[in-house]
Structure 1
Amino acid sequence: MKALQFDKTGDLAALRYVEVPTPATGANEVLVQIKAAGLNPSDVKNVLGRFPYTTLPRIPGRDFAGVVVEGPQALIGQAVWGTGRELGFFADGSHAQFVKLPANGVALKPSHLSFAQAASLGVPYTTAWDALERSLVKAGTRLLVIGGGAVGSAALALAKVRGAQVLAAARRPEQVNALQAQGIKTIELGKPEDLPTQVNAVFAGGAEVIFDTTGFWLPAAVPALATFGRIAIIAAPVDGHVQLPALALYRRGGSVVGINSLLYGVQACAAMLDQFGRFFDEGLLPLPEGLVESPLAEGLDRYGEVNQGRGDKIVLVP
């Protein structure tokens, strides 16, 4: 089969488009013919050596959608989607024509999603789902989501399904306009010290949950937090350190929740996909738009573009 593969890290030049053997399946495993595979920034960082536990040589790629061609009879021919921490790190991933994984590591693809749409959602939506679950967002929760990227948009959409009161915050005017066009109340981020005033103008007493998807607003978020509130974070500054106003945090009874999608294997992620996947078929979640579909053979160029900051969602098609 054709695949992207790297045998060393530190430079995207190590990534090659190669011919490798198609994986052989064992008991309770499936072989999925990839119809589309999402390209995430973490895939690029993996080749660059940001994940020391990656074993080599390795086919990268976490997110996928495809058709089961080998495995338990009940799954043969089924359209599935999946993601998980093994893929691309210590098991070969989805940037190939086929991927092998446990039979319970795939979920049935929602019929309203195309293969490309489903492949674009794994990491953003499982990350957002985990953030909402672990920060206890439910009906009526006053939720502030900071950041207008894929994870932030997923969190807002999922939170609306839960009946939460949602407020978005983004820095770039085009992000603010896009969120407002979706009917989401949005504030434009400016000076960090202004955030509490902006939030309290919408949520009297502060936000019960603040989800910072950027890694830069944790100190400013604390004074915008309600009593006993939670701040969920998925990123940190490059050096991993931030000045946390601990006195203000504990006086509010607040807590910080670290969200790391790489803590969840394919089985756990399949369970998440099963839980919220039905919302796409029920018309409760927006279908992805503006995807860029690119042949897998051109994947080396697409990796380079993502590394340079390309923001639209790329889906690789074998």
Structure 2
Amino acid sequence: MNALQFSRTGELAALELVQLPTPIPAEGEVLVQIKAAGLNPSDVKNVLGRFPYTTMPRIPGRDFAGIVIEGPQELIGQEVWGTGKELGFLRDGSHAAYITLAVNGIALKPKSLSFAQAASLGVPYTTAWDALQRSLVDGNTRLLVIGANGAVGSAALALAKVRGAQVLGAVRRPEQLQALKANGYNAILLDKGEDLAGQVKAVFPEGADVIFDTTGFWLPASVTALAPFGRIAIIAAPLDGHVQLPVLALYRNGGSVVGINSLLYGVEACARMLEQFGKLFDQGTLPLPSGLLESPLSEGLERYAQVNEGGVDKVILVP
């Protein structure tokens, strides 16, 4: 089978298109023919050596959609999708023609999603879903999403809207602001950290109950924008991993910080998340993904480089 594989880390040139035997599923596993696989920034960082626990040689890739061709009889021919912390790190991932994983590590693909659309959603939507769940977002929540134009941020806005939350997006560029407003969201333009609280309270006078910072740069500024007992959910940090946090203001307001890491969840836990929000696509309450760049595996290195350079298109690799 065709696959992207790396046997060393440190540079994207380590990624090669190779021919490998089709994997054989073990007992309790399925063999999935991959129809589409998402390319996430974490896949790129994996090849660059940012995850020291990755074993090699390794096929990268976390997100996929495809068809079960071996496994329990009732699953043969079913269209499925999946993601999870093991894939691409501790076992071969989705940037190949086939993948094996636990029977309970797949979910039935929503019928309203194409293979490419489903493959684009795994990491962004499970991350956003976890952030909303663990920061207790519901119909009474005033939510600010910082970096609302990104894959995780836009997923959080869509999922929070379904929950009935009051949502506010924050972005850095005027064209991003206009795009959010065109999609029916309240939005603010980020500028200086000291201005964030005033901007938020102009929309939510008592402050935001939850602030989801998808960028890693607005944690200190978010503290004064919180409502009493508010929560800040974070999925990223500055390069050195450190911020100066106004702890006095945080604890006096009853605030808390919730760390979100999609790599804490294996394929089985992720499959349960996919089942929960996947049905919302078929119900028509979540927007279908658009703007996807589908590319063959043979262009994998080029696409990895594009994502590494901050390309805005969501790349889908097609075996």
Shorter chain as denominator, the TM-score bin is over 0.9
Deviation at 1:229, TM superposition (A): 0.5
Deviation at 1:44, TM superposition (A): 0.4
Deviation at 1:306, TM superposition (A): 1.0
Measure, in 2, the Cα distance between the counterparts of 1:8 and 1:194: 45
Aligned partner of 1:307 in structure 2 is 308
- Secondary structure at 2:33's aligned position in 1? strand
Aligned partner of 1:155 in structure 2 is 156
Aligned partner of 2:71 in structure 1 is 71
Could you tell me which runs of 5 or more consecutive residues in structure 2 were left unpaired when the two chains were aligned: none
Deviation at 1:21, TM superposition (A): 1.3
Measure, in 2, the Cα distance between the counterparts of 1:258 and 1:267: 21
Deviation at 1:204, TM superposition (A): 1.3
Deviation at 1:244, TM superposition (A): 0.5
2:143 is matched by which residue type in structure 1?
L
- Secondary structure at 1:100's aligned position in 2? strand
After superposition, the C-alpha distances for 1:250-289 in whole angstroms (9 at most, x for unaligned) are 0100000000000000000000000000000000000001
Measure, in 1, the Cα distance between the counterparts of 2:151 and 2:9: 26
Aligned partner of 1:87 in structure 2 is 87
Aligned partner of 2:25 in structure 1 is 25
Question: Does 2:254 correspond to 1:253?
Answer: yes
Aligned partner of 1:42 in structure 2 is 42
Measure, in 2, the Cα distance between the counterparts of 1:170 and 1:98: 38
Aligned partner of 2:243 in structure 1 is 242
Deviation at 1:310, TM superposition (A): 0.8
- Secondary structure at 1:201's aligned position in 2? helix
Measure, in 2, the Cα distance between the counterparts of 1:55 and 1:173: 43
1:192 is matched by which residue type in structure 2?
G
1:82 is matched by which residue type in structure 2?
G
Aligned partner of 1:205 in structure 2 is 206
Greater than 2 Å deviation, 4+ residue runs: none
TM-score, structure 2 as length reference: 0.99
- Secondary structure at 2:317's aligned position in 1? strand
After superposition, the C-alpha distances for 1:52-96 in whole angstroms (9 at most, x for unaligned) are 000000000000000000011111100000000000000000000
Deviation at 1:308, TM superposition (A): 1.4
- Secondary structure at 2:307's aligned position in 1? helix
Deviation at 1:27, TM superposition (A): 1.3
Measure, in 2, the Cα distance between the counterparts of 1:307 and 1:161: 32
Measure, in 1, the Cα distance between the counterparts of 2:135 and 2:52: 28
Deviation at 1:305, TM superposition (A): 1.1
After superposition, the C-alpha distances for 1:103-128 in whole angstroms (9 at most, x for unaligned) are 00000000000000000000000000
1:195 is matched by which residue type in structure 2?
L
Deviates most, 173-182 or 243-252: 173-182
Aligned partner of 1:6 in structure 2 is 6
After superposition, the C-alpha distances for 1:37-64 in whole angstroms (9 at most, x for unaligned) are 0000100000000000000000000000
Measure, in 2, the Cα distance between the counterparts of 1:48 and 1:266: 23
Question: Does 2:120 correspond to 1:123?
Answer: no
Deviation at 1:300, TM superposition (A): 1.1
- Secondary structure at 2:44's aligned position in 1? helix
Aligned partner of 1:58 in structure 2 is 58
Deviation at 1:177, TM superposition (A): 1.1
Deviation at 1:304, TM superposition (A): 1.1
Could you tell me which runs of 5 or more consecutive residues in structure 1 were left unpaired when the two chains were aligned: none
Aligned length: 318
Measure, in 2, the Cα distance between the counterparts of 1:252 and 1:307: 39
1:159 is matched by which residue type in structure 2?
A
1:90 is matched by which residue type in structure 2?
L
